[in-house]
Each structure stands twice: as C-alpha cells, then as structure tokens.
Amino acid sequence: MVATTEVIYQRPESFTDVHTHYCPGCTHGTAHRLIAEVIDEMGLREKTIGVAPVGCSVFAYRYFKMDFVEAAHGRAPAMATGIKRVLPENTVFTYQGDGDLASIGIAEIMHAAARGENITVIFINNAIYGMTGGQMAPTTLVGMKTTSSPLGRDVKLAGYPIRMAEILSNLDGASYIVRRSLHDAANIRKSKKAIRLAFEAQERGLGFSMVELLSSCPTNWKISPQEALEFVAEKMVPVFPLGDYKVSSVLESLKV
C-alpha cells in the first residue's frame, strides 16, 4: 500500500529562504507571513513594490521576494506616493512601525491619507521603539515603562497614546482603515482578511488604506513571549480597540 501525504501549508512564494533577524516571540514575522500569503493568493507578486523605512522593518527587503525600496525614517508614505504615481499599475505598500509612522512620519501618513493616495499601509503597533533601544513611542501606554520613561509614561509630561486608526478614519481620502491584532490564532486570521481587503482597496482604485496590527515586543518589554501576547490582549486592546474604523461601501460586499 502506497503512503500518501497531503500538503496543508507551505512557505509563501513571496518569501525568500533566509533566516529572520527578528527577536524570539516578535510578531513581525507573523505579519510578514500574512502579507506574503495575501500577495500570493491575489497573484500580485510580479507587480508589487514594498517600501520599508528605518526601524525593525528595515531589513524587510531580505524576506520578500519582490521589488522593495528603503525609505528614510518616517518617509515611507512619501516614497510610496511617488512610486505609485509614476507606476500606477503597480501595487505599492508600506510596512511601518509606530515610532516611524506616528512620530517622525506623522505628517507623511496624514497627508498621504488626506490626499487619498492609492497605496496600502501595514502599521505595526507594539507601543515602543523596537530597534533603537526601547524608548517611549507615541503609542506607549500610560504608565508603561520604557528606557526613556523608566518610571512609566506620565501624561503630564508626555501626553496620551495616539490612536492612528481613529485619526486617519476621519480623512476623506481614506477608503479602508481598520485595527486588528496578532496575539492569538483567531485574531491572526482576522488580520489576514483585513490585509486582503486593504490590497483589494488599492486594486480597485479606492484610495488610501491602512491596517493597524497590535504586535508584541517581548525583548523591549522585558517579558517572555507568552507574557507579551497576554499583554497585547489584556493591556493594549482596551487602549486600542479592535475594529473597522472606515470601510468603503465597495469593500463591504467583499467582507467575509
């Protein structure tokens, strides 16, 4: 009797075969996999151009088997705007962290959304500067300790966390703005569906789209990977509620 095997999962074609530089327990790798799977399933790889700025995403071009460019810190939306306008038939996306997108690059993301640039943004929110030393970010929770707020974020000194999905959803140029999380299997599946719809928005010429993903950073949070996932669920989600903040009526019919 001949034994048979069934392939239930394989490495996405949009991935290169290299080891990751991300820390153990970091969910950047999960986000990368979801993007690669969606691009494969939509048949977009040959025409996709990714833009990664400075931050933990800085080596993203090593992991995706497609055209990729590196932008200055915070400037990925500006670079993506230029690429998309020159090459409108290509699929263009940025992959940005919270320190990059919501701090040094906040003007870039705001105006790209306001203009309705037909690009897709994947926004990784782990409430801290990951690559540069674990400093307080615009999304750091109140009372959360970082290397630049060792006693915890004090609202009298640093204000409150910035909620980018809520802010960008108020701009007329935005077509699809949602927040998801990567802390467990169910939410990872929901994240993939959201990423798919974000790329669908671009393919249909609907304008600016962004998927914010709550992510873990056990190294800089100084806790275990499992504790980091629990922190996302128990501490981050209440501050950054998951949900759809703006969805074009064209995309509503595609939601499953």
The domain spans of the chain are 28-248
Q: Name beta bridge partners: 50.
A: 68, 93
pLDDT tens per residue, range 41-86: 999 999 999 999 988 888 888 999 999 999 999 999 999 999 999 9
Percentage, residues of the chain above pLDDT 90: 85
What is the arithmetic mean of pLDDT over 237-248? 97
pLDDT, position 238 = 98
Copy the structure tokens of residue 28: 């950047």
pLDDT exceeds 80 at position 205: yes
With bands split at pLDDT 50, 70 and 90, how would you rate the model's confidence at 178? Answer: very high
pLDDT exceeds 90 at position 7: no
pLDDT, position 130 = 84
pLDDT exceeds 60 at position 161: yes
Three-state DSSP class for residue 205: coil
pLDDT tens per residue, range 95-143: 999 999 999 999 999 999 999 999 999 999 999 998 888 899 999 999 9
When the pLDDT of each residue in the chain is averaged and rounded to a whole number, the result is: 94
Give, for 229, the enclosing helix (H) or strand (E): helix 225-231
The CATH code of domain 28-248 reads 3.40.50.970
Residues 6+ apart with CB under 8 A from 136: 128, 129, 144, 146, 148, 149, 153, 158
Copy the structure tokens of residue 57: 């995403």
pLDDT, position 256 = 56
What is the arithmetic mean of pLDDT over 159-164? 97
pLDDT, position 133 = 83
Three-state DSSP class for residue 141: coil
What is the arithmetic mean of pLDDT over 186-214? 97
pLDDT tens per residue, range 145-158: 999 999 999 999 99
Residue with the two structure tokens 């691009």: 39
pLDDT, position 1 = 61
Helical H segments across 66-224, by residue range: 76-86, 98-99, 106-115, 155-158, 164-168, 185-203, 218-221
User: pTM for the whole thing?
Assistant: 0.95
With bands split at pLDDT 50, 70 and 90, how would you rate the model's confidence at 253? Answer: confident
